């Protein structure tokens, strides 16, 4: 009788969970916290909920839903040291599904190949309006300043000695506040860090309503936050008014793709897909069916699989270590520095320009479209209910997407082929 109960106990996940000294419990708690943030607090629910559920299902011993990370030679070893695959790159997809489980099949087919991030960028492009950016072109430059956090954290991470330069670049890209860009860069440079970097990137994006007000409070005065952009526009009217917005919006994505492709070819997978999605939107009725597909069906499907697969990479073995803690801390500084550098760029511009700019426009230079702009608009209306800066913030916010993709392109082109 005792033997039967013992066998039953061994059959369930309890035996491994109890033997793990609570590490699995930590992962379940993490999954529940992420689910709580997504469901109750509504922090990026479309992403956080699939990621959180992926974390949950990946951490049931015997469930075979956790993603195994291959080393540089393609070798996969489990926690007990057992070799599961000598070279995963020689395995067919059905063999991966059969030997390593469904989630590894999805991960190696959709994520490891770098397929999903550009697909999501295509959907993001379809949902992006470049109108505010084109109406306030000069403000777009703050989207460049806000990429400083990426490179500053890269430098500090390398200096700390905990990360090699490829890992540090993947950590720094969290400062771009762009999930697909962070994932795309990490897949290319440090795929073994994909789980903590994706989680940190999406968690901080979800925490934009907390982080931006904190950085703004530390760096801006009330007088600066009261700068009314519409009044400034009346005093110093913009010189370039669009007479035919539709034509400009159609030519713009084609022109930007061509220029970026010529200067930073490694960024084309992201910028090209972003602009392709946007072009389909701007053409209008002729491509409305394609626009509808990429902005709904494809985007939603990609988000579901990306979220689940990223969550499933967060297994006990991959997540509970000092590297992850370093990434969580470093990612926060990258994020904060990006916001602060955008703000300081505005302050410097205000020193030399008669037309004053609200520093909140610099704070939105990191991506996180459109949440960063909405948060900044809330901050400005708190000080002056008539001071709506949303449209102005969207200019630097959208250019931040281009800026972070270009920064990722630079990192990939410089570091992808170096051997450590």
- Binding positions for another protein, rule: CB under 8 A: 133-134, 137-138, 140-141, 143-144, 147-148, 150-152, 154-155, 158-159, 161, 164-165, 168-169, 240-248, 251-252, 255-256, 259-260, 263-264, 399, 402-403, 406-407, 410-411, 414-415
Residue 57, token pair as written in the block: 């299902």
Q: How far apart are CA 343 and CA 351, in angstroms?
A: 13
CA 355 to chain centre: 33
144 vs 357 by CB, closer to another protein: 144
CA nearest neighbour of 179 among 270, 263, 113: 270
The least CB distance from residue 165 to another protein, in Å, is 5
107 vs 151 by CB, closer to another protein: 151
Q: How far apart are CA 303 and CA 191, in angstroms?
A: 19
The least CB distance from residue 86 to another protein, in Å, is 30
Between strands 83-85 and 76-77, the pairing is antiparallel
191 vs 403 by CB, closer to another protein: 403
144 vs 372 by CB, closer to another protein: 144
60 vs 162 by CB, closer to another protein: 162
- Decide if 331 contacts 157 (C-beta within 8 A): no
The least CB distance from residue 155 to another protein, in Å, is 4
381 vs 413 by CB, closer to another protein: 413
The least CB distance from residue 391 to another protein, in Å, is 16
The least CB distance from residue 244 to another protein, in Å, is 5
The least CB distance from residue 12 to another protein, in Å, is 47
Q: How far apart are CA 57 and CA 52, in angstroms?
A: 9
Would you say how long the chain is, in residues?
A: 420
147 vs 228 by CB, closer to another protein: 147
Contacts 24+ apart (CB under 8 A), 101-105: 101/64, 101/65, 102/64, 102/65, 103/54, 103/57, 103/58, 103/64, 103/65, 103/66, 103/67, 103/308, 103/309, 103/312, 104/67, 104/68
Span between the terminal Cα atoms of the chain, in Å:
57
CA 43 to chain centre: 14
The least CB distance from residue 380 to another protein, in Å, is 23
């Amino acid at each position: 009788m005792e033997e039967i109960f013992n066998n039953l106990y061994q059959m369930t996940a309890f035996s491994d969970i109890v033997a793990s000294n609570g590490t699995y419990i930590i992962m379940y708690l993490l999954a529940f916290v992420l689910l709580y943030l997504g469901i109750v607090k509504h922090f990026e629910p479309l992403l956080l909920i699939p990621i959180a559920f992926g974390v949950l299902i990946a951490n049931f011993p015997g469930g075979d839903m956790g993603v195994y990370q291959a080393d540089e030679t393609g070798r996969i070893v489990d926690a007990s040291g057992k070799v599961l695959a000598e070279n995963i790159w020689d395995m067919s997809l059905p063999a991966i599904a059969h030997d390593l489980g469904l989630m590894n099949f999805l991960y190696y087919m959709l994520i490891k190949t770098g397929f999903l991030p550009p697909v999501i960028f295509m959907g993001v492009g379809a949902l992006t309006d470049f109108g505010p950016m084109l109406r306030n072109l000069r403000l777009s430059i703050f989207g460049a300043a806000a990429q400083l956090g990426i490179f500053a954290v890269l430098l500090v991470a390398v200096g700390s000695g905990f990360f090699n330069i490829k890992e540090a670049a993947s950590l720094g890209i969290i400062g771009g506040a762009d999930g697909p860009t962070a994932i795309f860069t990490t897949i290319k440079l440090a795929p073994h860090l994909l789980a903590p970097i994706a989680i940190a990137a999406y968690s901080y994006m979800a925490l934009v309503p907390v982080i931006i007000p904190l950085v703004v409070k530390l760096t801006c005065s009330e007088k600066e936050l009261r700068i009314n952009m519409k009044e400034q526009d009346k005093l110093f009217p913009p010189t370039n008014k669009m007479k035919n917005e539709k034509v400009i919006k159609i030519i713009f994505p084609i022109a930007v793709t061509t220029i970026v492709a010529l200067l930073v070819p490694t960024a084309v997978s992201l910028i090209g897909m972003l602009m392709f999605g946007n072009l389909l939107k701007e053409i209008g009725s002729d491509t409305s069916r394609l626009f509808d597909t990429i902005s709904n069906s494809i985007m939603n499907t990609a988000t579901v699989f990306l979220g689940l697969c990223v969550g499933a990479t967060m297994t006990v073995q991959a997540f509970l270590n000092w590297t992850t803690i370093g990434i969580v801390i470093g990612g926060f500084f990258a994020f904060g520095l990006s916001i602060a550098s955008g703000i300081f760029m505005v302050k410097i511009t205000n020193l030399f320009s008669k037309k004053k700019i609200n520093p909140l426009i610099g704070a939105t230079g990191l991506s996180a479209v459109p949440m960063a702009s909405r948060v900044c608009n809330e901050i400005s209306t708190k000080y002056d209910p008539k001071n709506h800066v949303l449209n102005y913030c969207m200019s630097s916010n959208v250019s931040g997407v281009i800026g972070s993709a270009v920064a990722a392109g630079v990192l990939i082109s410089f570091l992808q082929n170096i051997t450590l």
